[in-house]
Amino acid sequence: MKTNRRSFLSSACATCGCVGLAMAGDALAETEEQSEEAVKLQERLDQTKAFAGAWTTSLVTVMDRQLEPEAVASVLEACGRACAERNSGKMIATYSGDPDGLLAKMKELWLDSFTYDKEQRRIELVGRETAECYCPIHPADGSYSFCECSNGYMEFLFGQVLGTPVEVDLVSSRLRGSTRCSWKITYGQI
């Protein structure tokens, strides 16, 4: 029996096409399952972030109502120090003993300007102008007490880099009506 080459190739391609489509369908189903899983995970992360943000806002609001401002500042500064201790290890390792390098990196990332007076042992940081607060946990309508956290963060970070205790004063902040956040850091005089 003579085989029609065209007929053979058509049927062979159709068979391969079905197998290929079936394999592609399996891969697509697997990708869709992974995509569904990724979407579910992202939804869960978004819910967790929204919950944590609302809970944190409630906590700070209650603290503002029930505690003296000094106590609120003390708690939030301690949270900022703990945050810096958890999250700035690489930066501290990179710039330990090199405040000039740290300041240059900060300028690259978010500072508009800074001054570093080694004789007076003073650093002034001036953030870039912004329409919104840089703080990742601050809600749009939250308390300006959140700014105290940044003081604790800066205290830990610069204390580690400089190798000496530092004192941090918030000069201005977006939450307190300015268009930028600024700090004054003194060290070696405490």
Q: How confident is the model at residue 4 (pLDDT cuts 50, 70, 90)?
A: very low
List, for residues 128-169, the tens digit of each pLDDT value: 998 888 777 776 666 788 889 999 999 999 999 999 999 999
Single out the residue in 66, 88, 122 at which a domain terminates.
66
In degrees rounded to 5, what are phi and psi of residue 46? -65, -40
Cα–Cα distance for residue pair 62/60, rounded to 1 Å: 5
| Whole-number pLDDT of residue 10 | 41
On whether both 97 and 162 belong to a single domain, the answer is yes
Cα–Cα distance for residue pair 12/157, rounded to 1 Å: 68
On whether both 115 and 176 belong to a single domain, the answer is yes
On whether both 160 and 81 belong to a single domain, the answer is yes
List, for residues 51-93, the tens digit of each pLDDT value: 888 888 889 989 999 999 999 999 999 999 999 999 999 999 9
Residue 104 has pLDDT above 80, yes or no: yes
On whether both 127 and 47 belong to a single domain, the answer is no
On whether both 32 and 76 belong to a single domain, the answer is no
Task: Give the count of domains, the chain.
Answer: 2
Single out the residue in 42, 66, 90 at which a domain terminates.
66
On whether both 81 and 134 belong to a single domain, the answer is yes
On whether both 100 and 167 belong to a single domain, the answer is yes
Single out the residue in 66, 84, 100 at which a domain terminates.
66
pTM for this structure? 0.75
List, for residues 20-34, the tens digit of each pLDDT value: 434 445 555 566 667
On whether both 54 and 134 belong to a single domain, the answer is no
On whether both 79 and 135 belong to a single domain, the answer is yes
97: domain CATH number is: 3.30.1380.20
| Whole-number pLDDT of residue 174 | 86
On whether both 4 and 76 belong to a single domain, the answer is no
Three-class DSSP labels, 4-50: CHHHHHHHHHHHHHHHHHHHHHHHHHHHHHHHHHHHHHHHHHHHHHH
Cα–Cα distance for residue pair 168/136, rounded to 1 Å: 20
> 111: Cβ–Cβ under 8 A, 6 or more apart, which residues?
103, 125, 126, 127, 128
Q: What is the crossing angle of helices 69-87 and 5-66, to 10°?
A: 150
| Whole-number pLDDT of residue 18 | 41
Most confident residue range from 13-27, 43-57, 174-188: 174-188
Q: What average pLDDT does range 113-125 have in this prediction? A: 97
On whether both 74 and 119 belong to a single domain, the answer is yes
Q: Could you tell me the sign of the dihedral formed by the alpha carbons of 165, 170, 175, 178, in that order?
A: negative
Residue 47 has pLDDT above 80, yes or no: yes
On whether both 57 and 87 belong to a single domain, the answer is no
- Chain centre to alpha carbon of residue 153: 13
Q: How confident is the model at residue 17 (pLDDT cuts 50, 70, 90)?
A: very low
Cα–Cα distance for residue pair 118/124, rounded to 1 Å: 11
| Whole-number pLDDT of residue 8 | 35
Q: Which domain holds residue 29?
A: 1-66
